[in-house]
Amino acid sequence: MARFDHILDGKPRALKEYVLDQVAEELAKDLRSFPPPIEEWLDESLHERYRPVLARVSPPEHETVRVACELARRELLRDYELIDRFCRSPEFPRLAPNELEQQTVHFITRYLVDSALAFQEFAKGKFNRAELVTLVEKVEERLLRGHRLRL
């Protein structure tokens, strides 16, 4: 029935947008009340590595969150060479000026990427990689309110 094709074509996208908004809200809430909850550590060495980050007495700096969101977005886009160049550039230590902030960048990046991939797995592959990038962008908007970093 061609008359209703536009309805069927539009609904899944609207539903996906709604779901992405809900997941983004949860992830943003987790990061606002830093540190976010980690259900289990699959690698105990990572838990040790990030122990100082998890023991922070203050929330991460605004710049730290900006960098982490962009690196997570780039990782989901598979821009690994760009990530590597940025992390080796003078810009990275300028934006994350000490060891704690740099480790926090890596932790938040890992948290966002792992959460996005876990969501994709939970949704049984109904969300593609581009939609996971959108998810991170929605988290960015909630946390940074337009102050995004783009490499």
For every residue of 33-60, DSSP letters joined together read: TSSPP-S--S-HHHHHHTHHHHT-SSPP
Helix (H) or strand (E) holding 91: helix 91-95
Copy the structure tokens of residue 44: 């105990």
pLDDT tens track for 17-34? 999 999 999 999 999 999
Q: Are 103 and 50 in contact (CB under 8 A)?
A: yes
What is the end-to-end Cα distance of the chain in Å, rounded?
Answer: 46
What's the burial of 30, exposed, middle or buried (CB within 10 Å: 0-12/13-18/19+)? middle
Measured CA to CA, the distance from residue 77 to residue 32 in angstroms comes to: 24
Task: Give the HSE-up count for residue 53: Cα atoms under 13 Å, Cβ half-sphere.
Answer: 29
pLDDT band, very low/low/confident/very high, at 111 (cuts 50, 70, 90): very high
Long-range contacts of 125-131 (CB under 8 A, 24+ apart): 126/16, 127/16, 127/19, 127/20, 129/76, 129/77, 129/78, 131/16, 131/20
Q: Is residue 135 over pLDDT 70?
A: yes
Percent of residues, the chain, with pLDDT higher than 90: 77
Q: What are phi and psi of 8, to 5 degrees?
A: -65, -35
**23 is written with which tokens?**
């997941």
Question: How many Å apart are CA 92 and CA 83, to the nearest integer?
Answer: 10
Pick from 30-34, 117-121, 147-151: least confident: 147-151
With 80 as the cut, is the pLDDT of residue 2 above it?
no
